[in-house]
Amino acid sequence: MRLVLLGPPGSGKGTQAARLKVELGVPHISTGDMLRAAVAAGTPIGLKAKAVMDAGQLVSDDILLAMLEERLAQDDARKGFILDGYPRNLAQADALEHLLAKIGQPLDAVVKLDVPNQVIIGRCEIRFKAEHRKDDDPEVVRDRLKVYADQTAPVAEFFARRGKLQVIDGVGTLDEVTERVKHALNWQPAAVNG
């Protein structure tokens, strides 16, 4: 299964990807996690990304695509993957489509988690208090939601035109949202031999 999870920051993409990766047996590839790891390691790309992320802005497309191409070449991603946090704009969506064609791994589906902004701000505020991530500060989140509306929301239409998009209600318990995603993907667990 080759899947992209779309949705605004705080919509639950990472949480759902972490749950689905176990059931689907494919890696959860989060560009945000890749960037945070680079920041924590103090790599040159991480230092560049830190200033941009702290301001609630998006890291350049070239940096993300290069990181993603390297990650998709790893053995665990050959059977599929769940992308979280990428693509974030139309240029990235187009670049992803070309990259996946080049490596012979076209997308199976794109799932967009639909969550109202006020719910997202509340979720991020809780996470900010617990984890102290600057990108979860309520003011930064409001700015990130504006960036999402301007740049990322059109990506859903890009994939809808290709017949890949499923829009899922992202409000509810974790189990409810996971079941909605699995239903949208027509996912069935593998039969267990007894």
**pLDDT at 90 exceeding the cut of 50:** yes
HSE toward the beta carbon, residue 73, CA cutoff 13 A = 8
Q: Which residue type sits at 60?
A: S
| Residue 99 predicted with pLDDT over 90 | yes
Please state the rounded mean pLDDT for residues 42-57. 80
Cα angle at 69 between 65 and 74, to 5 degrees?
Answer: 150
Domain ranges of the chain: 2-184
What does CATH list as the number for 2-184? 3.40.50.300
Q: How far is CA 86 from CA 90, 130, 151, 193, in A?
A: 10, 25, 12, 37
Residues 177, 182, 185, 186, Cα dihedral to 10°: -140
- pLDDT at position 101 is 95
pLDDT of 91 over the 60 cut: yes
**Between residues 183 and 63, the one the model is more confident about:** 183
Question: Does the pLDDT of residue 190 top 70, yes or no?
Answer: no
**Residue listed under structure tokens 């139309």:** 90
Q: How confident is the model at residue 68 (pLDDT cuts 50, 70, 90)?
A: confident
Question: How high is the pLDDT of residue 193?
Answer: 35
Q: 23-39 pLDDT, tens per residue?
A: 889 999 988 788 888 78
Could you tell me which of 194, 183, 181 has the C-alpha nearest to residue 21?
181
Q: Give me the pLDDT at residue 188, please.
A: 56
Asked if residue 194 has pLDDT above 50, the reply is no
